[in-house]
Amino acid sequence: MIKRFQAWLQQKEQSSKPQELTRDNVPEHVAIIMDGNGRWAKHRGLPRVAGHHNGMKAVKRVTIAANDMGIKVLTMYVFSTENWKRPKDEVDFLMKLPQEFLAIELDELIEKNVQVRMMGYREDLPEHTLRALEEAERKTKHNTGLILNFALNYGSQREIVESVRHIAREVEAGRLNVDDIEEATIHSHLLSNGLPDPDLLIRTSGELRLSNFMLWQLAYSELWFTDIYWPDFNEQHLREAVIEYQRRSRRYGGLQ
């Protein structure tokens, strides 16, 4: 009886120790809802755009950290299909961030073998934004390192609706039988087509919602929430999230 108690105590001590990140079992795909830029600015008495600008610096930090950790795909939700409802000045500012980011960072991303991609509705974007994005995609499309996937003008319900429409047209044209529609059919028509589903979703700034982000793809993902505002998010926070992901998957491994 005492032996069993000692073994239980030892196991308990082990599991409460701060864990180290292990190189195996790094999540392949990490997706992030980067919230709290406006609140970060407000706390400092700064305009909201200052929060967005500092949020962009966090994008760079976290991209480098994810690449170093061996993460294969990093999806960042930078602009939703609902964000057009914000004041025009703010939208105009946001639409300049992709080209500003790329003007500063693209050379280093190329050097680090990063592939830049965009997931979202391109037709609504201003031409200057789209041009910068497509140039970055073209210049990095053969890179084989981290896939840096920007969800820009992205909304998941619209994504699912358009996927279903596309499938319905294939049925209408006689190329597909209704009975052959399955999960994989929907999945392959989504904007994330070709990418693995996220293993880990991070949302910053204390909100506990999915906000129309990758609803289909997140069906089996681990979810990790933090109160940190996105502009304050750093390498250490990413490590914390990944360590927690590894702890959870070890635990499930033990039960199976």
Q: Which residues are catalytic?
A: 35, 83
Subset of 152-191 contacting ligand V07 (CB under 6 A):
152
Q: Which is nearer to ligand V07, 26 or 133 (CB)?
A: 133
Q: Which residue is nearest to ligand V07 (CB)?
A: 55
Contact at 8 Å (CB) between 207 and 230? no
What binding mask, one character per residue, do residues 206-245 give for ligand V07 by CB under 6 A, x or -? ------------------------x---------------
C-beta atoms surrounding 220 within 10 Å: 8
62 scored as a contact of ligand V07 (CB under 6 A): no
- In the list 33, 59, 147, 151, the residue contacting ligand V07 (rule: CB under 6 A) is 59
- In the list 66, 94, 151, 191, the residue contacting ligand V07 (rule: CB under 6 A) is 94
C-beta atoms surrounding 132 within 10 Å: 20
How many whole angstroms separate alpha carbon 195 and alpha carbon 48?
Answer: 33
- In the list 33, 62, 78, 114, the residue contacting ligand V07 (rule: CB under 6 A) is 78
Number of residues binding to ligand V07, judged by CB under 6 A: 19
Strand partners, 79: 152
Candidates 93-101, 154-162, 164-172, 208-216; binding stretch for ligand V07 (CB under 6 A): 93-101
Type and span of the H or E element at 166: helix 156-172
Subset of 97-126 contacting ligand V07 (CB under 6 A):
97-98, 101-102, 116
Contact at 8 Å (CB) between 144 and 113? yes
Who contacts 224 (Cβ-Cβ below 8 Å, separation ≥6)?
A: 200, 201, 202, 203, 241, 244, 245
- In the list 40, 150, 229, 245, the residue contacting ligand V07 (rule: CB under 6 A) is 150
Q: Which is nearer to ligand V07, 51 or 198 (CB)?
A: 51
Subset of 17-56 contacting ligand V07 (CB under 6 A):
34, 37, 52, 55-56
Is residue 210 packed enough to be buried (19+ CB in 10 Å), middle (13-18) or exposed (0-12)?
A: middle
CB of 53 to ligand V07, least distance (A): 7
Is residue 241 packed enough to be buried (19+ CB in 10 Å), middle (13-18) or exposed (0-12)?
A: buried
Candidates 17-25, 94-102, 197-205, 209-217; binding stretch for ligand V07 (CB under 6 A): 94-102
SS3 at position 239? helix
Contact at 8 Å (CB) between 208 and 35? no
- In the list 33, 136, 202, 241, the residue contacting ligand V07 (rule: CB under 6 A) is 136
- Radius of gyration for the chain, computed over Cα atoms and rounded to the nearest angstrom: 21
Please give the residue ranges that form the binding site for ligand V07 (CB under 6 A): 34, 37, 52, 55-56, 59, 78-79, 94, 97-98, 101-102, 116, 133, 136, 150, 152, 230
